[in-house]
Amino acid sequence: MPHLTAPADARRTAGGEQLGFGVPGYAHPLLAPAEWAGLARPGTPLHWAVLNIADGPGSRPDPHCLEAAGRLHNARERALHGDSPDDTVRASGGRLLGHLDLAHGERPFEELIADARSFIDWYRIGGFYLARCPTERAGLPAVRRLTGTLHALLAESDSADGGGRLVLGHGTQPYPGYAEAADQLVTFQGPWTDYRWSQVAEWTADYPPERFAHFVHGVPRTHLEEAMRIARWQGAGTIFFTDRDGRSGQSDPFATLPRYWDEIVSRIGPGISE
């Protein structure tokens, strides 16, 4: 049993709140067709998935990525606006997010906005995942400027219903002020050996679970229930757990489906997130 230090308010999430998946970025659709097809499968409780062509949108539209983006966009449309009242259960409702690499605050603002415009124009994305986001207080003003501009761009786009979604990919607990700069924060990204003993920051209890995401690799099948219990206890509403660990010649353990994908989907159950 993990040793967790959580404020009392955070423990309210230890019940039956609906978890969903955030996918930090599969391999290119040409190399990972099963992964991308699985995201649009009816009933998948997908909150969002990240499209990353070449640490961004690439230099021109990619036909394979266009096809994958179209399938996911159509699945979301069916889930949200389908004629049948069961569509919100039978179809996935996840947004497609464009990958923007902030390089811990080192990338110029103009470059990031140019990449964002390409994502919107080519792939009709519904938001952005800001990878390698700064975590310190000093980086917050620049991130606020960026997220404010991105929200404005998404609001002008006809593909981002509800103004789009912005996720800050910190991978660790950031300065609390970042919670007001975006819709969701990734506050853990790392191995199961660290996650099972992790502690939640007390300030996160001031926000609902849909404001936080956890990415954990190396989670054994036999510990899935424990991992989901930790996520709920720590107040995370979005997760990606995998048994992959990057040891078999694969540098990114999150770039492919976990071997127990069908099992974890069935444990969480069908759902949709706006």
Helix ranges (H only) for 124-243 are 140-156, 192-195, 224-233
> Is the CA virtual torsion 188, 231, 49, 36 positive or negative?
positive
The residue whose two tokens read 């990031």 is 112
Q: From CA 45, how far away is CA 34, in angstroms rounded?
A: 17
- Mean pLDDT (whole number) for 40-62: 91
Is the pLDDT at 198 greater than 70? The verdict is yes
Query: What does the pLDDT look like over 221-233, one tens digit per residue?
Result: 999 999 999 999 9
Q: How many CB atoms lie within 10 A of CB 152?
A: 11
Query: What does the pLDDT look like over 121-149, one tens digit per residue?
Result: 999 999 999 999 999 999 999 999 999 99
Q: Is 246 exposed, middle or buried (0-12, 13-18, 19+ CB in 10 A)?
A: middle
What is the reported pTM? 0.89
The gap from C-alpha 178 to its chain's centroid, in whole angstroms, comes to: 16
Q: How many CB atoms lie within 10 A of CB 14?
A: 16
Reported confidence tier of residue 251, pLDDT bands at 50, 70, 90: confident
pLDDT of res. 61: 96
- Mean pLDDT (whole number) for 11-17: 44
Q: Which helix (H) or strand (E) holds 212?
A: strand 212-217
Reported confidence tier of residue 88, pLDDT bands at 50, 70, 90: very low
